[in-house]
Structure 1
């Protein structure tokens, strides 16, 4: 339970950072909510990829908890809308990262419903957007390729080289091999879709690995390391450099907010500390979000108490889940708030 609370606290600070530095786009949120900071992205790719590559199966308990009414969205997606599948203006599917975003939207619910149900759901949603165009069949084919890639990735990769005794040195050669395996599988199974799905991500991960090699090279002086790292940064595409700069700003904001929260004190004291680093407008936005989140957390606590009372009743799983879903809608009329509450519910269940 303490680990769950730490995770919630970290996610809460990241959420406040989005407002403090203005990084509120969906892309920024998805990136910053990943567990590792920028320097660890390469080291974590294998862990993340292997985890997401597991077949979309769930236990009977998970299915009962997550699935909504037949033909509808799983509980965690209820109230939201899938991303748009782009076409090229001639009825064909555009080769874009947005296609992967569409599939990943549904894959977030892969542990809530059986694999066959997930597959049928994705196909229905493809038809809803693209029915009557060549893009519909093309999207189904890409979906099948993506599943084959994820399954192959999960079964072929060796255990992560980041795992080992505490303090053990990272095996960069093993990490390089794992990244190369990801690339090779993508080229073989995704074909022409490998680049739009994984190209930018793969390039960034290989650059991160190059950074790790330089930083861990004991034969280089501090000045030499700094020069080589600067050379790598200078060779990056402008959009990558801009992303790194945003990441640095966001990390600085996260550190500032974290330090202010650790020190406690009044809201005025927190405002003064954040203002000094981020400016008055950012400080005001952070404090407003802090106050709103405190109110949300109090509402969630009340909801959790009533949800626990339902859980203590001797009800069939479907009836119990229906009552909890109804209770959640009563407390959280905003769909995004309801999704957030459902996510915390699943986190509490897994922690127990």
Structure 2
């Protein structure tokens, strides 16, 4: 086997970037559960003819599989006059239910579930106000869902957006913000104010990056000035969103320099904390074990490829049987086949 076939983390380098990114995301993801809001279907009051009894859930939130073991967030509260308190926590409460919309047995059943839970928590008039807010929130999500499909994608070669595409994103943001203020006027700022400010700052960065005629020094100066003007919470959010890329760059740079997994783990622990370092070490150990199995497999594969007298069909059948024997996990077998193909292509270009 050649030295190039023994390069550590080689399969990650040869597979598509999205596959490699999973490993970095795994190292940076939070260790605890985090309910992620999902896009909802449009719900009308008439659809509430479907009840939880029809779904077999019996009105229990804990009966939904995707919500099992997850605490219900703080829900509707009343003010001193019995009206609904308008808080950011309300959106989290609604998102909690939306994350289980598939388990609920349809839009009408989810609607009923929220309606019943609101009534258990607060009396009128707060209950009716929360219910109306839920309906308008679902209508808002249904309205912006098609817009997301029109989002421009970065150029596959350069990974950047041009000025026209950034302008399209700016228009989409304006349309979404208008929908928020039209359908959810009383909570638009409470629920989306920080998010809207962050999106605006990120669009400003994209506009600077896409602006023609700027030399690199001026571009970096403008980006630094934009970062310095961000409020502290937004700056922290941006740094958190950039963290996976920074970790990936650190790992790639140290690997290119020939540093060991122990050195990389120590550097990650110093900069990003022990949890990231531990996850990297686990990933590195799993990759080392896979690489050892691939090395053994590649040695036997080379013997089959060089064995004289085999027909092309027999050789192909023996190689497939060897791969299945060495990698019983189908995903690992596909991974090995991808590395085989990339190695063959590299040998042909030499």
TM range (shorter): 0.5 to 0.7
Q: 1:211 to 1:68 in 2, by over 3 A?
A: farther
Counterpart position of 1:142: 133
Q: Given the alignment, which residue of 127, 142, 148 partners 2:119?
A: 127
RMSD between aligned residues: 4.1
Counterpart position of 1:218: 212
> Equivalents in 1 of 2:118, 2:281: separation in Å?
39
Task: Provide structure 2 residue ranges, at least 5 long, that are not aligned to the other structure.
Answer: 1-15, 44-54, 287-350
Q: 1:88 to 1:104 in 2, by over 3 A?
A: same
Deviations 1:288-339 (A, max 9, x none): 79769x99xxxxxxxxxxxxxxxxxxxxxxxxxxxxxxxxxxxxxxxxxxxx
Offset at residue 221 of structure 1 (A): 1.4
Counterpart position of 1:74: 64
> Equivalents in 2 of 1:280, 1:154: separation in Å?
38
- Compute the TM-score of the two structures, normalised by the length of structure 2: 0.59
> Equivalents in 2 of 1:109, 1:158: separation in Å?
21
Matches within 5 A, 1:282-321: 282-283=273-274, 286-287=277-278
> Equivalents in 1 of 2:153, 2:190: separation in Å?
30
Q: 1:278 to 1:224 in 2, by over 3 A?
A: same
Q: Given the alignment, which residue of 110, 116, 119 partners 2:108?
A: 116
> Equivalents in 2 of 1:239, 1:164: separation in Å?
27
More RCO (CA 8 Å, sep 6+): 1
Q: 1:176 to 1:6 in 2, by over 3 A?
A: closer
1:230 aligns to 2:224 (yes or no): yes
Offset at residue 153 of structure 1 (A): 2.3
Q: 1:284 to 1:240 in 2, by over 3 A?
A: closer
Offset at residue 179 of structure 1 (A): 0.7
Matches within 5 A, 1:1-352: 10=21, 13-18=24-29, 52-55=39-42, 69-72=57-60, 73-85=63-75, 87=77, 89-90=79-80, 91-112=82-103, 113-128=105-120, 130-132=121-123, 134-154=125-145, 157=147, 159-163=149-153, 166-167=156-157, 169=162, 171-249=165-243, 251-253=245-247, 255-256=249-250, 270-279=261-270, 282-283=273-274, 286-287=277-278
Whether the aligned pair in 1 keeps the contact of 2:268 and 2:277 (CA below 8 Å) is no
